[in-house]
Structure 1
Amino acid sequence: MSPFQLSAETLTDALIDAYRNSNLLEQNRALLRIADDDVAIAFSDLLPTLNFIANLSGTDPNNNVRRSNPLTGEVEYGDRLVATYQLQAEMVIYAGGRNRNTLEARKESVLATREALRSVEQQILLQAVSAYMGVLRAEAYVDLRENNVRVLTQERQATSDRFEVGEVTRTDVAQAESRHAAAVSLLEAARGDRDVAREQFRTAVGRYPGDLVTPPNMPATAANVDEAARLAVRTHPDIRQAQREVTVAEIGMKVARGAYLPTISGQISANTDSEEKYEYRQLGITLSQPIYQGGGLAALERQAIARRDAARSSLLQTTLSVEENVGNAWARLEAAKAQIRATDLQINAAQIAFDGTREEATLGARTTLDVLDAEQELLDARASRIDAIATEYVAVYSLLSAMGLMTVDHLKLGIQTYDPAGYYNAVKHAPARLSPRGMQLDRVLRKIGRE
């Protein structure tokens, strides 16, 4: 795609493409599928296993092995090859609750990973907003600098003409030329910043920007900062992920304590021996009870307790961080609104001052430097307003992100989103590779790979 594509597009278009083109989202979706299959692995531990075992053994030579030659009647000594076949089924009947608790922990890990995916989605969309407004700001700066160069070009020419008729001095001409050269330099810098902003947009959205349109409206957030913080604590994916991780850690304590309990398993096997031509079947039950493990089980239990404590502390710290982010985003938004109001007043006053100074200069009451200074003040006021508007938009969406609402669904982007439950529902009962559901999963994975 050409880096200078000129198709008109909105912020919604950019957000949609950022969601569809994000490699980071694809990475975290794959990590979620890994967690989904952890559930399948834990579930498989509750099911019986069936194994086929074959063994072939022999000796060369073996003088103790004799056989009669049917043609000569002579006794011959030869090698011995023996093949045995075994079909073995085994199932853990009781394991102190470890297997079932592990399954529950894996399920909670899936839910935590889903929240992590939602958090990444928020990051991707917020980066797209920042990149979008960055391009708009850079383009506005270029327009502003180009207009400034045009004005100063006219001012330089007017000053030169007045010098020719003796109305101003060589110093006035030099000041006009110096300010014009500085404006040209700043214009080139603004163009460079625009190129940088376009590259940042490409990284965030997956393509270069077209002709961007300033968003007409800003999304609704909250009535006040306290309401925003309360909503964030309930809905932010980082907090919900931390809550799930606390549950995982608490289940991990149950798993560790279950290691002290006995394990009971049952076995059924059928055996065939090719040499002796016999078959036999065997049924057995095995009980294993830890008595002394060198303190290892106690150490594992202490680790599980420490993980639980760490997870709880992490939840408290995450909550504080989310509340801080809400407060910071709200403060930046209020500051941007105040800055816009102030710059509007500044622009009006600077415009009046510039027009008056330029008129007075034509009458000889003002110098060329006075006119140039007034022009610079007006330019600075307009540049401040550009910054404030871009900052306001980013601050609004940053507040949404801090509240946990920067998602495709909440923004109503109107596109199909990744279904985190689809793959999980297909694998949670551990389908075998050659089963109908297993073959269906293979097709799903091939489709994901192509996408």
Structure 2
Amino acid sequence: MMKTVASRAAGLATLALTFSACSFGPSGNPPAMPQPEHYGAIAQPERTVTAQGASQRFVTGAKPVPEWWKRYRSDGLDALVDEGLRNSPNLAAADKSLAAAREQLKAQIGSSLLPSIDAGAQTSRQRGLGVPDFGPPTALYNLFVGQIQAQYTFDLFGAARYENASLAAQVDQQSFQLDAARRALAANIVTGAIGAAALRAEIDTTERLVALADDDARDARRRYELGSASRSEALNVEQNAASLAASLPGLRAQWLATRHALAVLLGRTPDQAPDDLDFASLAVPEDVPVVVPSELLATRPDIRAADAAVKAAAAQVGVATAQLFPSLSLSASMGKGGFSWPTALSGAGALWSIGASLSQPIFHGGALLAQRRAALDTYDAAVLQYKQTVLAAFQNVANTLAALEQDTQALASSDTASRASQGAFDDAAARVRLGAIPPRAARASEQQYRNAQLNTIRYASARLSDTASLFQAMGSPVGVAQTVSKSE
């Protein structure tokens, strides 16, 4: 047994000499990542196609835009985002949690790097037992003691500094996560307001389609009664009208659910949902920043949070390594004591002590080395998670760019079809007024126009929402994340 302990002690001594010549842990710098020339499989164009009279320009190399939602040029939308950022309980709770974490960091730094000084006083009445034939008889006496005690542990090998660095990096990580939550909230409010406004426009258009279908059904029944239409034709028209009417409740339910969700994002109860924005008044941001991949690592808070996690894990390796080395502590105390107040306060009652303790781990059943190996594995996992976060960010940007480009192309085609069908409807309505064609022909033309209008609303909503998603994917700042790892 003694031989085993001696061999382990020798091994720890050799390990200590090895670590003394190098760093106690990894540097904590994030790993190098590939820098693609462009995000997607196909490079994004300089600008999108023109749809509804607007073309969006991708400004490659531009910086993220603060308060990007103001580029929609809607005072109502600006007010909703400002209200949500101000009143969201989730953001407020996260902000308080971050403040608490910063205070905990200050407490740990103060307790680990500075000496502790405590004052104490004690008064008691005691009964001492005498030993027959060897000591005084049983006695009652009072004891008065007052002391000031100080203790300090030297951070010889940086265990406390590494622990503080790890906690500071964790606070940074929490700060970046709060910034990501702010960005997500702003984007969700924008997309929610756009979605609610678009659904309201879809409902209005669908209600008009239902009204036209009901007119067709009534006209078919009259023609059937007059013998100019078959019963099968009349029933088919009625079936189409009923099927179209059946789509309205689901659409209204989706619209109400979107409004309720938006109200909660704003910190309101669902019954206080805001009024819908005017969908037609929402402007498409003309210039959209596209941060280059190398800069994206510094603008997206999710990547910066993963970087902070790497730094925290690296510092924990340093902590686990430093625990293999000796620890030196000093303690001192001074005070007064005695069996009565006059004695305690006199020179005869002076008390003092000073001491030092040095400890070196020798045998802990392999626990310290296992803890260091675990810290190294945790660091490796944090590095891999950082890589995955960066790749997912590149994918997010690539998908958003592709969706914006493709939805804009679909909007351009849909808008062309909508304008053509509107022209056909206007011509049909004019011919009805002249008596050249029956009214049901104009209704059929208007139905084609309204259906094309529905598609246009959906694609226009998708383009507006895709733009918001792209602003978010670029890491557009909403709040400034304050880091503490370097300052502390």
Same fold (TM over 0.5): yes
Equivalent residues in 2 for 1:35-434 (5 A)? 35-44=101-110, 45-56=112-123, 58-60=125-127, 62=129, 78-160=139-221, 162=223, 167-207=228-268, 208-214=273-279, 215-218=282-285, 220-222=287-289, 227-275=291-339, 277=343, 278-351=349-422, 376-405=447-476, 407-408=477-478, 420=482
Identity %: 23
Counterparts of 1:228 and 1:77 in 2: how far apart (Å)? Answer: 87
Corresponding residue SS for 1:90 = strand
Corresponding residue SS for 2:288 = coil
Q: Which moved more, 1:231-240 or 1:346-355?
A: 346-355
Distance 1:169 1:365, change over 3 A: farther
Deviations, residues 351-376 of structure 1 (Å, cap 9, x unaligned): 4566778869x9999997x8877655
Q: Which runs of 5+ in 2 are unaligned?
A: 1-73, 344-348
Distance 1:77 1:217, change over 3 A: same
Counterparts of 1:182 and 1:130 in 2: how far apart (Å)? Answer: 29
Counterparts of 1:340 and 1:162 in 2: how far apart (Å)? Answer: 39
Counterparts of 1:337 and 1:77 in 2: how far apart (Å)? Answer: 99
**Structure 1 residue 101: Cα displacement:** 2.3
Is the 8 Å Cα contact of residues 233 and 323 (structure 1) preserved in structure 2? no
Deviations, residues 256-279 of structure 1 (Å, cap 9, x unaligned): 211122222222201433227322
Counterparts of 1:9 and 1:162 in 2: how far apart (Å)? Answer: 52
Counterparts of 1:257 and 1:419 in 2: how far apart (Å)? Answer: 31
Counterparts of 2:174 and 2:208 in 1: how far apart (Å)? Answer: 51
Distance 1:64 1:56, change over 3 A: farther
Is the 8 Å Cα contact of residues 131 and 204 (structure 1) preserved in structure 2? no
Is the 8 Å Cα contact of residues 14 and 128 (structure 1) preserved in structure 2? yes
**Structure 1 residue 14: Cα displacement:** 1.4
RMSD of Structure 2 on Structure 1 (CA): 3.4
Counterpart residue identity of residue 237, structure 1: P
Is the 8 Å Cα contact of residues 89 and 267 (structure 2) preserved in structure 1? no
Distance 1:325 1:240, change over 3 A: same
Q: Which runs of 5+ in 1 are unaligned?
A: 1-7, 66-74, 409-416, 430-451
Distance 1:221 1:234, change over 3 A: farther
Counterparts of 2:388 and 2:106 in 1: how far apart (Å)? Answer: 32
Distance 1:419 1:398, change over 3 A: closer
Counterpart residue identity of residue 200, structure 2: E
Distance 1:255 1:419, change over 3 A: closer
Distance 1:54 1:138, change over 3 A: same
Corresponding residue SS for 2:157 = coil
Residue number in structure 2 paired with 1:23 = 89
Q: Which moved more, 1:383-392 or 1:213-222?
A: 213-222
**Structure 1 residue 40: Cα displacement:** 0.8
Is the 8 Å Cα contact of residues 55 and 83 (structure 1) preserved in structure 2? yes
Deviations, residues 367-386 of structure 1 (Å, cap 9, x unaligned): 97x88776554433222111
Is the 8 Å Cα contact of residues 82 and 275 (structure 1) preserved in structure 2? yes
